[in-house]
Amino acid sequence: MVLREAGYQGGMGVQRDPWFDNAKMALVVLVVLGHSWTLLPQDPLVAHLYDFLYAWHVPAFVFVTGYLSRSFTWSRARMWQLTRTVVVPYVVFECALALFRVHVGGERLEDLFRDPHWPMWYLAALFFWRLLTPVFAPLRGGLPVAVGVSLAAGLYAGDTLDLARVLGLLPFFVMGLKATPERLERLRDGRVRVTAVGVLAAIWVLTTWTDRWASTEWLYYRSRYSELDVSDTRALLTRAALLVVGTLGAWAFFALVPRVGGWFARMGAFTLVVYLFHGFAVKGAEYAGYPRWAESAPATAFVVTSVAAVALSLLLAWRPLARWLTHVVDPFGPAQRQVESAVDLTVATAEADAIATAVDEATSEERQPVGR
């Protein structure tokens, strides 16, 4: 899903952390992988892999989003940046993906913009999470409050702008806001990495029986408890359990993420490009009849789909292509940077002229005769 401190794209003048770039790129690859698996016949293995992945990778993505949102304020500059990097892409791609699905896929979509379609929910959620940042960042006890909001959201939250998801996943965002480099440094310990492997193995075992204690729908954090045919008490306990599993899985993932730079880390500057464009490829494969072929050769289709999903992610994050696609994702960004560069150049030129004038005047005074 979505990512740097005040936006999503990377800037050449920004000091980047290869750990977070590696994490962001790995997470967006997992997003593409999970969406691609929906094209496959839902045999037990695919269903298990899907539930295992969704138990922790979206919480991890939201955590990263929170951590990189810590400096957000309600200042005019930040609000404009939020509009430019979140609201504008939401409007552009909600329209583009809807047109693609209607006119190419023959689907019927309702409530455009009010009810985000498919991957667009994350931009809607990010918009509200960013606005909540100045509230939760300084708030002592903010995480318990966010947990309480998440538990209650399943009782009352509606579908408008995926508010149920926004509030349901809020604890992971606030957890990222409250994280510090010093706390995250603890994940570098070798013993923590060993434990992380065990945690992910335990989640793998636990998700073997997802359908017994929950269902895949629970992992989306988007439905009211009343829609899931369980009592409120059972629903609150299930949501609480998922919050714990998501937290442990996210931490385990971060403990295992490499901390070295390289080509993969550099791709982490373009996660939003991957996130927004991959849906056209996945839906295009669906409309082309890929699921029918997948049913005829499920084992081969699983390998082909997984490899293709990873390759698609890397292609979209490939710098020459990604930088071009960034103009679609952030159409105002290049113009703003050109204006800023022009202003900087004008100021620098004016300063240089002033210095040159001062030097000329000083030199002229030195050349004046002292007197007879």
User: For 283-318, what is each residue's pLDDT tens digit?
Assistant: 999 999 999 999 999 999 999 999 999 999 999 999
Q: Which amino acid appears at position 84 of this protein?
A: R
Does 341 score more than 60 pLDDT? Answer: no
Nearest to 90 by CA among 334, 329, 332, 331: 329
| For range 42-51, the mean pLDDT | 93
Q: How confident is the model at residue 1 (pLDDT cuts 50, 70, 90)?
A: very low
In the predicted model, what is the mean pLDDT of residues 214-226?
90
Q: What is the pLDDT of residue 116?
A: 86
Distance between CA atoms of 64 and 55, rounded to whole angstroms? 16
Q: What is the per-residue pLDDT for 15? A: 66
- Residue corresponding to tokens 């103009």: 327
pTM of the complete model? 0.86
> Residue 76: which pLDDT band, with cuts at 50, 70 and 90?
very high
Query: How far is the C-alpha of 21 from the C-alpha of 4, rounded, in Å?
Result: 9
What secondary structure does DSSP assign to 326-337, as a single string? Answer: HHHHSTHHHHHH
- Between 32-36, 44-48, 75-79, 355-359, the lowest mean confidence (pLDDT) is in 355-359
Structural contact between residues 97 and 118, judged by C-beta atoms closer than 8 angstroms: yes
| Spatial separation of the C-alpha atoms in residues 158 and 162, rounded to whole Å | 7
Q: What does the pLDDT look like over 228-259, one tens digit per residue?
A: 888 999 999 999 999 999 999 999 999 999 98
Q: Which are the contacts of 93, defined by CB distance < 8 A and separation ≥ 6?
A: 120, 123, 276, 329
Rounded CA separation 237/102 (Å): 39
Q: What pLDDT does 302 receive? A: 97
Neighbours of 264 (CB within 10 A): 17
Residue ranges of the domains in the chain?
A: 18-330, 333-372
